[in-house]
A and B are shown apart, each in its own frame.
Chain A
Amino acid sequence: MSANNDVIIDVKGLKKYYKGDEIKALDDITTTIKKGEVVAIIGPSGSGKSTFLRSLNLLEVPTDGTILFENTDITSPETNINVLRQKMGMVFQHFNLFPHLSVMDNMTLAPRKLLKMSKDDAEKKAKDLLKMVALEDRARAFPSQLSGGQKQRIAIVRALMMSPDVLLFDEPTSALDPEMVGEVLDVMKKLAQEGMTMAVVTHEMGFAREVASRVIFMENGRIALEGTPEEVFNNPSNERLKTFLAKVL
């Protein structure tokens, strides 16, 4: 096709309004996410970061605009969103592990039911991924037996079980005790180094600065500024960004 080949997500004129058009959670967002990019989305609370991220796999249905995922318009009624979501992993602030299933079953449920992977293959893959996050001894544990950091690492590898083309992180460390933030960020860093395409809504400015290839600063449902971490953090030209960074850094 065209030069679009390395673009994984292409967002054009994305709008999300509530109560008619009284509340503009997303107000005309246009951006792209390319293969291998790590995009950090930052901004004050209520700026629309999470709404934007959740729109990317249609957990929020936008009011207007288009989102192309690998050249398929996910907002179109003809699109089977369930199939596309298999290729877009998502990690939530509150982990959302399935409490009635063991770690192993949490991980193997989707690939076995949706990809028809055999039990042996799925468990082998799960074990490899558990090794990557240093939790291979917790395969038989239930979520209630895990710490917050462990839960989030399991949530990440559960998403990886589907071999997604992009991972969406919705404030993955915001619900964690401070001493557990590092272990989750380390896993994310490792994924970034392996070339995983990631979009991360985060309050961890250190992570954004160090790992992200691009930073999007949102305010009032708009992209106020985007650029490399150096451009955003070292020389903030935008007044609002300056105030925001002064508060969080």
Chain B
Amino acid sequence: MNYLLLATLAMPQWLQKLKSDFILNFVDDDRYMYIVKGLIVTAEVTFFATLLGIVLGALVAIIRSTHDKLAPTMRMGAPKVALKIVNAISQVYLTVIRGTPVVVQLMIAYFIIFVTSNNKVLIAVLAFGFNSGAYVAEIIRSGIMSIDNGQFEAGRSLGFNYAQTMIYIIIPQAFKNVLPALANEFIVLLKETSISGYVGLQDLARGGDVIRSRTYSAFMPLLAVAAIYLIIVMFFSKLVTMLERRLRNSER
């Protein structure tokens, strides 16, 4: 025990300060739980918002590219009118979402649209999902449009209809091309959820901030939060690189 005391005493001044800072911010009153609980909320919101974003984005991308590819050659009639209408709705959605800051969208969702609900996680998932969907839509659409039209013609000339050509030939190639961009969008979304505190949701960033407000010590909690974001982002970047390499190898 004396040895321990000696060791502590032998520590340089700054290290001792660091240690007491650590204990104050994370150990006392179990304050680390703010970080843990916040991390769970961040993971929840990011995961479900990503799912929503991909589903919504894929849908809008398919509407937009189908419109661009097919509408000019379609005969006038109900299908063409329907396609024009859903395309117009998609374009309004893209313009509004990409033209306004996500923090404003989140606040509109919480304080106006879902003012009667108090399920903050759900509201955040919807707000971030709708936001991400707009960016995912443009990513997937650019992927579809980047596939050489000859691929499309080859599919059609074999007798595949438009949807079959998309499913068997265009989408698999497009997905491979946009995977890095999609992964990047996921990483952006993960970091963007750190504004959830604006509507009082206790996510990872807010957890660190709450500790800071209790201990009046900013250094430890904020750097810990930053480090956790960084580690998660690096992990997923690595994962995507591996997946990309795997997909590319299947062509060699």
Please report the number of residue pairs spanning A and B whose Cβ atoms sit closer than 8 angstroms. 67
User: Which residue of A85, A114, A142, A162 is within 8 Å of B251 (Cβ)?
Assistant: A142
Q: Inside 8 A of B172's CB, which chain A residues have their CB? A: 100
Are B157 and A59 neighbours in the complex by a CB distance under 8 Å?
yes
Q: Inside 8 A of B160's CB, which chain A residues have their CB? A: 82, 110, 113-114
Q: Mark A71-83, 1 if CB is under 8 A from B, else 0.
A: 0000001000011
8 Å CB interface, A149-193 against B: 158-159, 162
User: Which residue of B158, B164, B252 is within 8 Å of A159 (Cβ)?
Assistant: B158
User: Which residue of B75, B164, B251 is within 8 Å of A99 (Cβ)?
Assistant: B251
User: Which residue of A59, A99, A100, A159 is within 8 Å of B153 (Cβ)?
Assistant: A59
B176 at interface by CB-CB < 8 Å = yes
A144 at interface by CB-CB < 8 Å = yes
B161 at interface by CB-CB < 8 Å = yes
With a 10 A CB-CB cut-off, give which of A82, A86, A88 has the most chain B CB atoms: A82
Count contacts on A: residues with CB < 8 A to the other chain: 28
Are B252 and A145 neighbours in the complex by a CB distance under 8 Å?
yes
8 Å CB interface, A106-124 against B: 109-110, 113-114
User: Which residue of B151, B153, B161, B164 is within 8 Å of A98 (Cβ)?
Assistant: B151
Q: Inside 8 A of B169's CB, which chain A residues have their CB? A: 98
Interface residues on B, range: 20 to 34
| A59→B150 CA distance, assembly (Å) | 11
B159 at interface by CB-CB < 8 Å = yes
A12 at interface by CB-CB < 8 Å = no
Are B157 and A61 neighbours in the complex by a CB distance under 8 Å?
no
Q: How far is the CB of B175 from chain A (nearest CB, A)?
A: 9
Are A162 and B73 neighbours in the complex by a CB distance under 8 Å?
no
Of all chain A residues, which has the CB nearest B172?
A100
B37 at interface by CB-CB < 8 Å = no
| A82→B163 CA distance, assembly (Å) | 12
User: Which residue of A96, A158, A162 is within 8 Å of B159 (Cβ)?
Assistant: A162
B168 at interface by CB-CB < 8 Å = yes
Are A82 and B153 neighbours in the complex by a CB distance under 8 Å?
no
Q: A144 with B173: in contact, given A113-B168, A114-B160 (CB under 8 Å)?
A: no
Residues of B bordering A, CB below 8 Å: 73, 75, 148, 150-151, 153-154, 156-161, 164, 168-169, 172-173, 176, 250-252
* 16 A-B contacts (beta carbon < 8 Å): A59-B156, A82-B156, A82-B159, A92-B150, A96-B153, A98-B151, A98-B154, A99-B251, A100-B172, A100-B250, A110-B158, A113-B168, A144-B251, A145-B252, A159-B158, A162-B159
